[in-house]
Amino acid sequence: MQQAAIKFEPYLQSKQEDLQARILAAKQKLGKRVVILGHHYQHESVYRHADYTGDSLKLSRYAAETDAEFIVFLGVHFMAEVADILSRPEQIAILPDLSAGCSMADMANLAKVERSRRELSKVLDFDATITPVTYINSAADLKAFCGEHGGIVCTSTNAPKILEWAFQQREKVLFFPDQNLGRWSGYKMGIPLEQMPVWDPDLPMGGLSEEQIKQAKILLWKGHCAVHQMFREQNITRFREQYPEGKVISHPECPFEVCLHSDFVGSTEYILKTVNEAEPGTQWLVGTELNLVNRLAEQMQAQNKLVQFMSHVVCECSTMARIDPQHLAWTLENLADGHVVNQIKVPATEAQLAKLTLDRMLAVS
pLDDT above 60: residue 2: no
Of 3-17, 109-123, 322-336, the poorest mean pLDDT is in 3-17
pLDDT at 311: 86
Same fold, 9-99+321-345 and 105-225: yes
CATH level 3 topology of 228-309: Rossmann fold (3.40.50)
| 60: confidence class by pLDDT, cuts 50, 70, 90 | confident
Class of domain 9-99+321-345: alpha beta
Residue 133 C-alpha from the chain's centroid: 15
* Residue-wise pLDDT tens digits, 61-94: 887 788 899 999 999 999 999 999 999 999 999 9
Give residue limits of the domains in the chain: 9-99+321-345, 105-225, 228-309
**Cα distance between residue 359 and residue 357, in whole Å:** 5
Indicate the pTM of the whole model.
0.92
Helix residue ranges per DSSP H, the chain: 16-30, 44-47, 56-65, 77-86, 103-106, 110-120, 126-129, 140-148, 159-169, 179-188, 210-215, 233-242, 256-260, 268-277, 290-300, 325-336, 348-364
pLDDT above 80: residue 32: yes
Which option is the CATH number for 105-225: 3.90.1570, 3.40.1110, 1.10.238, 3.40.50? 3.40.50
226-to-103, 289, 299, 316 alpha-carbon distances in Å: 7, 10, 26, 9
Instruction: Please name every residue paired with 73 in a beta bridge, in sequence order, or none if there are none.
Output: 37
* Residue-wise pLDDT tens digits, 266-294: 999 999 999 999 999 999 999 998 989 99
pLDDT at 212: 97
pLDDT above 60: residue 341: yes
Residues with Cβ within 8 Å of 297's Cβ and at least 6 positions away in sequence, in order, are 306, 307, 308, 309
pLDDT at 318: 65
Terminal Cα-to-Cα distance of the chain (whole angstroms): 51
Phi, psi of 173 (to 5 degrees): -130, 135
| 315: confidence class by pLDDT, cuts 50, 70, 90 | low
pLDDT at 65: 87
Average pLDDT over residues 339-354: 96
pLDDT at 308: 96
Neighbours of 245 (CB within 10 A): 8
Of 115-119, 259-263, 311-315, the poorest mean pLDDT is in 311-315
Rg (CA), the chain: 21
Average pLDDT over residues 143-163: 96
pLDDT above 90: residue 259: yes
* Residue-wise pLDDT tens digits, 40-56: 888 899 999 999 998 87
Mean pLDDT, the chain, rounded, equals: 93
Average pLDDT over residues 147-152: 96
**Number of DSSP helices (H) and strands (E) in the chain, helices first:** 17, 13
Sign of CA dihedral 271, 357, 188, 101: negative
Average pLDDT over residues 241-260: 97
pLDDT at 1: 39
141-to-37, 112, 146, 195, 357 alpha-carbon distances in Å: 23, 12, 9, 28, 11
